[in-house]
Chain A
C-alpha cells in the first residue's frame, strides 16, 4: 500500500463535487424511471422551470437566497469543527426578531427596517446558536444532539408564542399581525417586471454581501484565521494561544445569526407576518449546500443556486408531471448529502489512486515527488488515518515519531 497524493486542487473542488452530483442525479433518474416517467424530459422541464423565464428565475433566486444563508450557517460552524444541524430552529426563532422590528418600524422606511431587522433576527438566531455553542464549549455537550433538540424546542416555543402571545384576538389563525408598509422588504419585481410574481427581494443582495462577508471573515480577519485554525487542528490552536471554547461559542453564534437572515427573507419578504413553520426545511438544505460547496463562499453560492433551481424547477415539474412530486427534490438532496458528505471515499479514494498513478508514471516511479522536486508527504487522509491508527501513541512510539521517521526517510 503506497502513499497516495492529495488530489490536485481542481479535482478536489470541482471534479469531486461534480462526480458526486452526477451520481445523485443518476440515481434520481432511476427513481423517475421507476414511476414510469422519462428522466431526460423531467430534467428539461426542471431546468426550464428554474431558469427559462423571469418568474421562474425569480423563484430560483428567492430559494437560493435562503440556501445561501442556511449554507453559511452550516459552513461557519463547520470551519470551527462544529456540526450545526440547528439552522432550521435558529431561523425559526429569528422570525421573532424580524417581525418585532418589522411591526415596530412599519411606518418608517425599509432602509431603516432592513439593518435593524438584521440585528433583531441575528440576535435571536444567534442566541439559538450560542446556547448549543456554550453547552459544547463549557459543558461538553454534543453540538449535533443539542442543535437537533433545539430545533424541536424552537418549534414548540414558536407554536406557543404564535397561539398565545402574538396572535391577534380577532384572528383565528395562529399568526402575528401583518406588516403592511415599510416593514416589507422591497421585492425586485417592483423594479423589474421581468421577475413576474416571484418573491425575490432585497435580501438577495444581502445574501451576496454575506458571501463576500464570509470570505472576508475567514480569509481577511484574525477571528476567521483563528476559527479556521481551530477547525483544522485544535491542538495547534491551543499551542497558538487561541481559546478553543471562545471560538466555538463565537462561531456558533455567528452561524445562528446567519440562519436568522432566512427569517427576514421569508417573514418580511414573502409572508409579511410570522406564521407557523415558515422556515419550511430551508435550514436543513443548508447542510447539503455547505457540504457540496466545500464550505467556501463560491461553492456555497453555486450550490445554493443549484438547490434553488431544484426547488423551483421541482415545483414546475410536479405541475407538468403529476407523477413526480416536489419531494423528488428532497430525494436528490438526500443523495447529495449522502455522496458528498458521508460517502466521500466512494470517489475520492479511486481518484487519489488514479492521480498518484499518473504522477508516478510522470516521474518514473518511486516516492511521489512534486514538480518542484519536493518530496511529498502522504495525503492528508493518510495522515489522519495514521493518527487514528496510533490512537495516542499506541503504534510506533508516538505519532509524531512516526512522522519524524517519515520525514527522515524522505530526506535520507
Chain B
C-alpha cells in the first residue's frame, strides 16, 4: 500500500495523458451489457478512460451511468462484455475484488455506517487482524498522511451522523484511498454539497490527478464537466452516445446529447388565451427526504387556459416543487394558492385538500405514486377520488359505478386492452400512463399539474396524450407541466420557466427561444445573478484550468 503510493508519487512527475488514444488506459470497457429483468440498463457500452485523467460521464437520471460504474466496481456483474483494467482483462467478481484491482467508488448515497466513527468506517472490511486496535492505529496514521497530502482533514473519532455531508464524502474518498485505490469513481459527488464544499472537492481532484490517480466523475451537472474533466462521455437510455474531449465541446452541445431529440410529432395548437390566475405559488421552499433544500424560494403563476412548462436538467428541484404543489411534500415555507384558496398543509392528507380545491396531479413516477400496480385497473381509476359521491354515497363504494367510470375512461383514452379487471401491472407502460391521465383528466380539474406525461410511452400514445393536454388548455384549464424532454416542453408550453439548482433562472417564450439558449439556461451558465458564489468559482476554475493546461 505504502509502496504503491510511493510509486505513484514518482509517476506523478510525468504529465497526465489527456487523449483517449493514449496507450496507457486505466480502464477499457468493451461491449458491456446489463439488464434487469427484461430492461437493458446498459447496452453495448464501449468506454476508454485514460490513466491519470479526469473523465466525466454525463447523462440524465436513468441513463445507465450508475449501473455501468457499479459493474466496474463489482457490485453488479455484467451479462456480457469485457473489462480491462490497466490493459489486462479481468472478471470483477465482487467489490473486494475491485478494491484489489485498485478501483474505489464513492457512491451517491454514501456507504457509511452512521453510528460508527470515521475510523471504524475506514477500516470496515479492510481490517488487518482479528483485533481492531492495531488496524485503528494504522488507519489513524494513514488518515493523517492522506489528510495532509490531499486536504482531506476529518476528525477520525467523530461519528458519521455528526458530520456534514461534505465531510461524509471526504470519509468515502478516504476509505477508497486507504484501500489503495488508483481509480476513483465518484457518483454525483456534488449533488449534496454546498458550492464551497464542491470547490474543495475539485481541488482534491487536482491533487489526486497530480498523484497519477484516475478519476471518473458521474454527474448531470454540465458546469462541473466543463470545469474539471479532460474528457466526457455522454450516455442516454442505457447506451453510450459519444465521448468528447472537454475542451472541444460546450455545455449546450452536451445538453442536447444528453436529452436527445425524440422524434416528436408537431403538436397542433392554437394561440393561448390566458385568463385569471388559477394557481399561485409564493416563495415556496421545499426540502427532500434527507433534509436538503431542493426548492429555494420559487414563485410562479399559472393562468386559466395556458400551459406553463418547467424545463431543467432533472434533479434541480422540479420534482420537489411538483410534489409540494400536489400536497405530497410539506413545504418549509411559502404558499400554494389554488383558485384563491390557500392550502393549509395540515396533517398527512394535504393531497385530498388540493383535489377538493380543484387540482389534479399526474405524478412523475406512476409506479411509485400514481398507481397501485397490484390493483385491477378499475380500482386505480378512482385512486384519490374514492370519496366522490358518484362512486357511491357515504361510506359505500359502488363497484358498478367504479367499473362504469373505468370503462368510460378506457374508451375515451383508448386504454388497451380494454379490460377494467386486468391487473394494472399487466398493462404496458404507455397504457399505465393513460390510466393515470384518464383518471386525472376525467375529474375535469381547473388546475392540472403534470409530471413527465410521456415518460416511457410509445410514439402513438405520446400524440394522444399531448392532444388531451392541449384540449384541456383550450377548455380553459391552468396547466403546469414538468418534463425532462425538452422538445415536449417546447412544443406544448405557452410559457417556459427554467429551473436550476432550486431556483427559477429564466423564463422564455417557446416560439422565440432556440434550443441553444434554453440549453445554456438549463446548464445554469447564463444565469445572471443567482448563486454568485458558485458562478464565480466555476469561472475561476475554468480560467485556472485553461492556464494549467496551457502551462503543460
Q: Interface of A with B (CB < 8 Å)?
A: 1-3, 6, 219-226, 228-229, 232-233, 235-236, 238-246, 367, 370, 372, 374-378, 380, 382-383, 386, 391-412
Q: Identify the interface centre among A395, A405, A410: most chain B CB within 10 Å of its CB.
A: A405
Smallest beta-carbon distance B38→chain A, Å: 5
The answer to whether A224 and B383 touch across the interface, beta carbons within 8 angstroms, is no
Q: Which residue of B lies closest to A230 (CB)?
A: B372
Contact flag A240-B384 (CB < 8 Å), given A399-B368, A409-B38: yes
How many angstroms between the C-alpha atoms of A403 and B363 in the bound complex? 14
Smallest beta-carbon distance A215→chain B, Å: 12
CB-CB < 8 A to A383: which residues of B?
367, 373, 425
Contact flag A397-B60 (CB < 8 Å), given A2-B37, A407-B428: yes
Q: Which residue of A lies closest to B382 (CB)?
A: A225
Pairs across A and B, CB under 8 Å, 30 listed:
A220-B397, A222-B386, A225-B382, A225-B397, A229-B375, A232-B375, A233-B371, A239-B370, A243-B352, A244-B348, A374-B422, A377-B425, A383-B373, A392-B109, A394-B66, A395-B66, A396-B36, A396-B41, A396-B62, A404-B456, A405-B41, A405-B237, A405-B456, A406-B456, A407-B432, A407-B456, A408-B237, A409-B40, A411-B428, A411-B429
Using a CB-CB cutoff of 8 Å, which residues 294-348 of chain B contact chain A? Answer: 326-328, 347-348
CB-CB < 8 A to B36: which residues of A?
386, 396, 402, 406
Q: Identify the interface centre among B67, B352, B383: most chain A CB within 10 Å of its CB.
A: B383
The answer to whether B455 and A404 touch across the interface, beta carbons within 8 angstroms, is yes
The answer to whether B352 and A229 touch across the interface, beta carbons within 8 angstroms, is no
Q: Which bracket fits the contact residues of B?
A: 35 or more
How many angstroms between the C-alpha atoms of A412 and B41 in the bound complex? 14
CB-CB < 8 A to B109: which residues of A?
391-394
Smallest beta-carbon distance A31→chain B, Å: 37
Smallest beta-carbon distance A3→chain B, Å: 4
CB-CB < 8 A to B65: which residues of A?
397
Q: Which residue of B lies closest to A246 (CB)?
A: B349
The answer to whether B429 and A241 touch across the interface, beta carbons within 8 angstroms, is no
Q: Please, what's the 1-or-0 string for B96-119, where 1 marks a CB less than 8 Å from any CB in chain A?
A: 000000000001110000000000
The answer to whether B396 and A221 touch across the interface, beta carbons within 8 angstroms, is yes
Interface of A is mostly: helix
Smallest beta-carbon distance A283→chain B, Å: 28
CB-CB < 8 A to B399: which residues of A?
219-220
Smallest beta-carbon distance B313→chain A, Å: 13
The answer to whether A241 and B354 touch across the interface, beta carbons within 8 angstroms, is yes
Q: Given known contacts A222-B387, A397-B60, A397-B62, what 14 new A-B pairs fall within 8 Å (CB)?
A: A2-B37, A220-B399, A221-B395, A233-B372, A233-B373, A236-B383, A239-B361, A239-B383, A240-B351, A240-B384, A241-B354, A395-B70, A405-B456, A406-B456
Smallest beta-carbon distance B15→chain A, Å: 35
The answer to whether A243 and B349 touch across the interface, beta carbons within 8 angstroms, is yes
Cβ of B365 under 8 Å from chain A: yes
CB-CB < 8 A to B501: which residues of A?
none
The answer to whether B428 and A374 touch across the interface, beta carbons within 8 angstroms, is yes
The answer to whether B326 and A6 touch across the interface, beta carbons within 8 angstroms, is no
The answer to whether B395 and A401 touch across the interface, beta carbons within 8 angstroms, is no
Q: Which residue of B lies closest to A240 (CB)?
A: B384
Q: Identify the interface centre among B36, B326, B365, B399: most chain A CB within 10 Å of its CB.
A: B36
CB-CB < 8 A to B455: which residues of A?
404
Cβ of B350 under 8 Å from chain A: yes
Q: Which residue of B lies closest to A394 (CB)?
A: B109
CB-CB < 8 A to A224: which residues of B?
397
CB-CB < 8 A to A370: which residues of B?
426
CB-CB < 8 A to B64: which residues of A?
396-397
The answer to whether A378 and B347 touch across the interface, beta carbons within 8 angstroms, is no
How many angstroms between the C-alpha atoms of A20 and B370 in the bound complex? 35
The answer to whether A3 and B363 touch across the interface, beta carbons within 8 angstroms, is no
CB-CB < 8 A to A386: which residues of B?
36-37
Cβ of B427 under 8 Å from chain A: yes
Smallest beta-carbon distance A176→chain B, Å: 36
CB-CB < 8 A to A408: which residues of B?
237, 429, 456
Using a CB-CB cutoff of 8 Å, which residues 377-417 of chain B contact chain A? Answer: 379, 382-384, 386-387, 391-392, 395-399, 416-417
Q: Identify the interface centre among A223, A246, A408: most chain B CB within 10 Å of its CB.
A: A408
CB-CB < 8 A to B488: which residues of A?
none
How many angstroms between the C-alpha atoms of A235 and B396 in the bound complex? 24
Residue from the list A236, A239, A401, A403 in contact with B61, Cβ < 8 A: A401
How many angstroms between the C-alpha atoms of A2 and B81 in the bound complex? 18
Contact flag A405-B40 (CB < 8 Å), given A241-B351, A242-B352: yes
Question: Which 10 pairs between the two chains have the least Cβ-Cβ distance?
Answer: A401-B62, A407-B429, A241-B352, A397-B62, A241-B351, A400-B365, A397-B61, A240-B384, A406-B39, A407-B456
Cβ of B374 under 8 Å from chain A: yes
CB-CB < 8 A to B70: which residues of A?
395
Smallest beta-carbon distance A238→chain B, Å: 6
Q: Which residue of B lies closest to A9 (CB)?
A: B423
CB-CB < 8 A to B251: which residues of A?
none
The answer to whether A405 and B348 touch across the interface, beta carbons within 8 angstroms, is no
Q: Which residue of A lies closest to B366 (CB)?
A: A400
Q: Please, what's the 1-or-0 string for B427-469, where 1 marks a CB less than 8 Å from any CB in chain A?
A: 1111010000000000000000000000111100000000000
The answer to whether B349 and A242 touch across the interface, beta carbons within 8 angstroms, is yes
Smallest beta-carbon distance A281→chain B, Å: 33
How many angstroms between the C-alpha atoms of A402 and B66 in the bound complex? 11
Q: Which residue of B lies closest to A5 (CB)?
A: B426
How many angstroms between the C-alpha atoms of A396 and B40 in the bound complex? 10
How many angstroms between the C-alpha atoms of A410 and B417 in the bound complex? 15
The answer to whether B374 and A410 touch across the interface, beta carbons within 8 angstroms, is no
How many angstroms between the C-alpha atoms of A314 and B261 in the bound complex? 71
Contact flag A397-B427 (CB < 8 Å), given A236-B370, A405-B456: no
CB-CB < 8 A to A6: which residues of B?
423, 425
The answer to whether A239 and B351 touch across the interface, beta carbons within 8 angstroms, is yes
The answer to whether A376 and B62 touch across the interface, beta carbons within 8 angstroms, is no
